Amino acid sequence: MDLHVNNILNDLEKDDFQAYLLTKFTNVEYISGYKPTSFAFCIIKENPIVYASGMDIELAMRDSSIEVKEYVSFEAMIKELKSEGINRLAIEPSLPFSTYEKFSKDFEIGSGTYVDKQRMIKTSLEIEKIAKATEIAQKSFLQLDILNNDNTEKEVAFDLVGHMIKNGAAKESFDTIVTSGANSSLPHAIPQDKKLDNPVLIDWGAIFEGYCSDNTRTMVYTEKQHEIWDIVAEAHEKAIKAIRPGIKCCDVDKVARDIISEYGYGDKFIHSTGHSLGLDIHETPGFSARDETIIEEGMVITVEPGIYLEGEFGVRLEDTVSISKKGNIIGDLPLNIE
């Protein structure tokens, strides 16, 4: 049986659960190798099983490493579980309430993040896929002629996604952010139908064989923009140097936050320092003030400090870091793009 499934079964036993219900697509994919396109119920138990929709049954039979049955009805699925003596069922916290209601009539229910715990530590193959996604994304970024570009933000975003797909990405790993001028002070700005202003902030990523990449670069022009860029770059560099197994995630956030605060911009750093990624663009743990997870080898977490001056501009610099004895930046794209 798969090591991850065994680990989850051990965790379930400790918490007195007999099975674990998954519906989140990336969790189903992580456990079975089959990525649903419609809906699916994956149940981790002594003999794990996926109930796939009729629309997906051929795909599930082809790709799943665990048993597959075609979903018929809630009643039939619940009857099969009850026939195996399953009474206590763990669910994902993200399970829709309407689905929870159907199961809660027949089972004692509790929630847990057992798959998330397994997904925290990446295998060498997973890291290779993240690295390939990063390579595609960074190559595509360098194909943009940003500094001499007369296109709009929306056109640049469209071009970047096109380059990523041509270079081997399945698609973008999230909605590409191309923002410039005053709008760059909005961390999740939506590309506008306007010519590029300065500075230019681009946050983008690719998906390769299911795995995400994530980078941000900010191209600055004025003296004030360069000053802010230098502060963010220092926070970025020192946070990465601080990463090592055994310390808490919040300690890395503190390194970046303290540097930005020392320069008087602490209240302008309005998000966490980073997040894990993998099959999803946002996974756990993250470099945030509240995350006390102990860093371990095999984790992959972004480092993305930023300063946002409302109505003026913003600067963010982001790389993805794989953790061994230290933090190792994935990819080779320079921070300073000229």
Predicted confidence at residue 187, as pLDDT, reads 96
**Domain spans of the chain?**
3-119, 124-329
Q: Residue 106, SS3?
A: coil
Rounded Cα distance between 135 and 205, Å, is 10
Residue spans of alpha helices (H) in the chain: 3-14, 25-32, 57-63, 74-83, 97-104, 114-119, 124-142, 153-166, 223-242, 249-262
Rounded Cα distance between 213 and 60, Å, is 26
Cβ(55)–Cβ(61) below 8 Å = no
Locus of tokens 């750093």 = 269
Predicted confidence at residue 338, as pLDDT, reads 76
Whether the link from the prior residue into 96 is cis, omega within 30° of 0, is no
For residue 194 the two structure tokens come to 């306007």
pTM of this structure: 0.95
CA nearest neighbour of 299 among 169, 117, 30, 133: 117
Query: CA dist 108 to 17, 50, 89, Å?
Result: 9, 21, 6
Tell me which DSSP letter residue 107 carries: S
| CATH code, 3-119 | 3.40.350.10
To the nearest 10 degrees (0 to 180), the angle between helices 3-14 and 25-32 is 120
The list of the chain residues with pLDDT below 50 reads: none
HEC states along 203-235? EECEEECCEECCEEEEECCCHHHHHHHHHHHHH
**Tens of pLDDT along 109-136?**
999 999 999 999 999 999 999 999 999 9
**Number of CB atoms found within 10 A of residue 323's CB:** 20
For residue 320, list its beta bridge partners.
Answer: 302
The yes or no reply on domain 124-329 and CATH 1.10.10.10 is no
Rounded Cα distance between 221 and 236, Å, is 20
Predicted confidence at residue 149, as pLDDT, reads 67
